[in-house]
């Protein structure tokens, strides 16, 4: 039920003065994830994929130079791939929503009474009395733009004033993946020659990302951190073993 419906219900004649509305004392988690979820999961994707790639190559008993070149190539390829995929996905979604909004806009202009009745029936299905639902729908439909916004939210589940930006989505995916993928390469760029510092730094990053995910879940930070640490570590260990086997076979 929208705020307008709630306000009207509270002021219905014969029900007495409406009780003042109190804001709940507790706040809910951001179940949509906001910016945190895509950023953390983008970084986690970069961490796991590049760690696995580098350990797989290192398992083939190659030089540290080959490992670092592989890591940088994986960083660049993965970041550009993520950005391109995210841009295409969000742009396609936005174009679909805009096309549906155009259809709804035409329907509101050509068949205003049918759209008003449709909105009233929606409120009735949610428990509002028919007469009150029709009056609320009539008042909300007086402004065409507001009517479009309400129909979009109720029927399409989107806010036409807050559609996602493909450019922002692509840029954030690129940066998040690149930062995650950079961690296992960083020790080599600082002069390291062995694999273990890269693995330790990547595992620490995985634990940190998992702990950050706990902000949008009901799990504790240490559980989420350890879970991601185990999954990322398993991916790195398996690819290292495969790299060793393949390196021995083709050596």
Cα–Cα dist 210/190, whole Å: 26
List per-residue pLDDT tens for the chain, 251 residues long. Answer: 444 444 444 444 444 444 444 444 445 554 444 456 667 788 999 999 999 999 999 998 889 999 999 999 999 999 999 999 999 998 999 999 899 889 888 888 898 888 888 888 888 988 889 899 889 888 988 888 888 888 888 878 888 888 888 998 899 999 999 999 999 999 999 999 999 999 999 999 999 988 887 876 777 989 999 999 999 999 999 999 999 998 877 76
Cα–Cα dist 183/43, whole Å: 10
Q: What is the three-class DSSP state of 55?
A: helix
What is the per-residue pLDDT across 204-217, written as a single tens digit (0 to 9) for each? 999 998 888 787 67
Full-model pTM = 0.74
What is the per-residue pLDDT across 145-186, written as a single tens digit (0 to 9) for each? 888 888 888 878 888 888 888 998 899 999 999 999 999 999
Q: What angle do CA 190, 193, 194 make, to 5 degrees?
A: 115
Neighbours of 53 (CB within 10 A): 24
Neighbours of 12 (CB within 10 A): 11
């Amino acid at each position: 039920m929208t705020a307008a419906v709630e306000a009207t219900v509270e002021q219905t004649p014969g029900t007495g003065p409406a009780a003042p509305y109190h804001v709940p004392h507790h706040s809910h988690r951001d179940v949509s994830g906001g910016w945190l979820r895509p950023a953390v999961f983008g970084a986690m994707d970069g961490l796991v994929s590049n760690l696995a790639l580098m350990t797989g190559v290192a398992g083939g008993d190659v030089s540290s130079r080959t490992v670092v070149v592989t890591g940088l190539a994986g960083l660049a390829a993965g970041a550009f791939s993520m950005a391109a995929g995210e841009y295409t996905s969000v742009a396609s979604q936005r174009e679909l929503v805009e096309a549906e909004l155009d259809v709804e806009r035409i329907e509101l202009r050509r068949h205003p009474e049918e759209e008003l009745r449709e909105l009233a029936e929606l409120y009735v299905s949610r428990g509002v009395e028919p007469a009150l639902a029709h009056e609320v729908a009539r008042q909300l439909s007086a402004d065409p733009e507001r009517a479009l916004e309400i129909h979009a939210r109720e029927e399409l589940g989107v806010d036409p004033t807050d559609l996602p930006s493909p450019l922002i989505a692509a840029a954030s995916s690129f940066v998040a993946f690149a930062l995650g993928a950079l961690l296992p390469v960083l020790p080599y760029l600082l002069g390291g020659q062995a694999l273990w510092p890269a693995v330790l730094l990547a595992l620490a990053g995985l634990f940190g990302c998992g702990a950050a995910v706990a902000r949008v879940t009901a799990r504790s930070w240490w559980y989420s951190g350890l879970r991601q640490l185990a999954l990322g570590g398993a991916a790195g260990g398996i690819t290292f073993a495969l790299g060793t086997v393949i390196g021995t076979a083709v050596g």
